[in-house]
Amino acid sequence: MSRYSRPHAALAACAAALTLAAALTGCDALGNLGSPGHYPAATGYTVDGRVTTVVIKAGSGSVDVTAASRSTVAVSQQASYATKPPVAAHTLSGTTLTLSYTCAAELTCGISYTVQVPRGVAVRVSAGTGSITLTSVSGAVSVQTSAGLITAVDLRSAVVSLKSDAGGIIATCSVPPRSLHASTNLGPITLTVPGTVAYKISTHTFVGTSTITVRRSASSPYAITASSDVGSVSVSPG
């Protein structure tokens, strides 16, 4: 349901989101001033131990996670920096694999991750700036970014949470999700789900429209929540 009765809240949300996006863009621009930047060749490794959850703590850089018929986790990481390279780390605690990195005090520094995981592995991503892409993931999903587009393709997860402060969300589910939550302060949300079932749906936007073309049922075990402060919301069958 669109809430056009809150113009002050809408303007405040828009201003805050635009300020955040501008600030993040400004940081990237400042980091590039006076420095050609360094982009060494990507490095990779394989984690042979049993992994049921992958946690990616990304700052600046894209994240791409693909699930496939495999038994190991394969990681490729591409660093970018102005003067000092980021220090990457990965730890396996029990069956939880955590990928992270630290940077020196400089504006341009980050790592882009390309990760391949076994089917059924849960994926948790927290990022600062950069796009996040999930493909064929079937474990529980939790993604949060400050600025960047979130894209999920062939999503097979029962529980999905996608959040962006500034950036759109596009998700296509191949199986009906039991719980799908998508929210952004600035940007459109486009959700495509199987039309074979009805969904319990709750949507709202301060500035924008909500378009729901899937079957709805207040008692459905399949729940979808979508919220955008500034941007349209669409939930359609695929």
Average pLDDT, the chain: 88
**Per-residue model confidence (pLDDT) at position 162:** 98
- 105-131 pLDDT, tens digit each: 777 899 999 999 999 999 999 999 999
**Per-residue model confidence (pLDDT) at position 36:** 58
* Token pair in block for residue 129: 């700036």
CA distances 198 to 9, 18, 70, 169, 234, Å, are: 32, 36, 33, 22, 15
Poorest-pLDDT segment among 21-25, 74-78, 88-92, 170-174: 21-25
Rounded to whole angstroms, how far apart are CA atoms 16 and 51?
39
Biggest alpha carbon distance in the chain? 59
Residues 6 or more apart whose CB falls under 8 angstroms from that of 194 comprise: 173, 174, 175, 176, 237, 238
The residues spanned by each domain of the chain are 7-35+53-74+114-237
Rounded to whole angstroms, how far apart are CA atoms 208 and 118?
38
**120 Rama class: left (phi>0) / alpha (psi -120 to 50) / beta:** left
Rounded to whole angstroms, how far apart are CA atoms 185 and 14?
8
Which of 124, 29, 11, 109 lies closest to 61, judged by CA? 109
**Per-residue model confidence (pLDDT) at position 104:** 87
